[in-house]
Structure 1
Amino acid sequence: MRFEDALFNWLQIQLVAEGRPDDGAAADTRDFFLQILTEDHHVTDIVIEKTDDSMIHVRYRKEGSSKIQMIPREAGEQLLNDINENPKYN
């Protein structure tokens, strides 16, 4: 899996796991993408650093350097919004 895809997928499911703390499937899926990021792409210390009106800032370490990736907020939050809007998941 490409790094950008793994990072985006991790972000979306991380937001779902935070928004639905009792959702074990979300936590398991988040851990799966975290494993891809750490094992395949050698990423450590990944966190959502901040969220502003338009972007989500994800900070991580890779190859000994601290890096930041900014992802459009609307795209990052889309999965959680879709789940929350579908009554069969609530």
Structure 2
Amino acid sequence: MKSIQDALYNWLSIKIVADARPDDLSAQETFAFFQQMLEQDFSVKEVSVTKDEMSYTVSYKIDHQEETKRFPVELIECMYEQIKQEPEKFRNYPSA
């Protein structure tokens, strides 16, 4: 992934799912993958997320420089909304 914007979008989208479904091993593993990508590929540190009615704001540091990106709520929550609407397609499978 070449863009930090894309990496943050994917990280935040799966974070919403992983936070809502702590027993979903796939969501937890995918979140960890994107977390590692942010840290190793983009040197992102100290990530925080805030939400208002319209958007999520992700604040983070790269080389001690604080930066922010905003994402529309409906875009970020799209994956989780689909899971809620069709839960039979997104079952949790227990770890072995």
**TM-score of the aligned structures, taking structure 2 as reference length:** 0.86
Name the CA distance, whole Å, in 2 between partners of 1:52 and 1:14.
17
Q: Counterpart in 1 of 2:76?
A: 76
Q: Counterpart in 2 of 1:38?
A: 39
Quick one: which amino acid aligns to residue 35 of structure 1? Q
Shift of 1:27: 0.9
Shift of 1:47: 2.1
- Max radius of gyration: which structure? 2
Unaligned runs of 5+ in 1: none
Sequence identity, in percent?
A: 34
Quick one: which amino acid aligns to residue 70 of structure 2? M
Name the CA distance, whole Å, in 2 between partners of 1:87 and 1:8.
23
- Where relative contact order (Cα < 8 A, 6+ residues apart) is larger, the structure is 2
Shift of 1:69: 1.0
Quick one: which amino acid aligns to residue 79 of structure 1? M
Structure 1 outlier segments of 4+, above 4 Å: none
Larger helix fraction of residues? 1
Q: Counterpart in 1 of 2:52?
A: 52
For residues 34-78 of structure 1, the C-alpha deviation after alignment (integer angstroms, 9 at most, x for no partner) is: 111111111011121x11110001111112112111111110111
Name the CA distance, whole Å, in 1 between partners of 2:87 and 2:9.
25
Unaligned runs of 5+ in 2: 92-96
- Answering whether residue 33 of structure 2 is matched by residue 12 of structure 1, we say no
**TM-score of the aligned structures, taking structure 1 as reference length:** 0.92
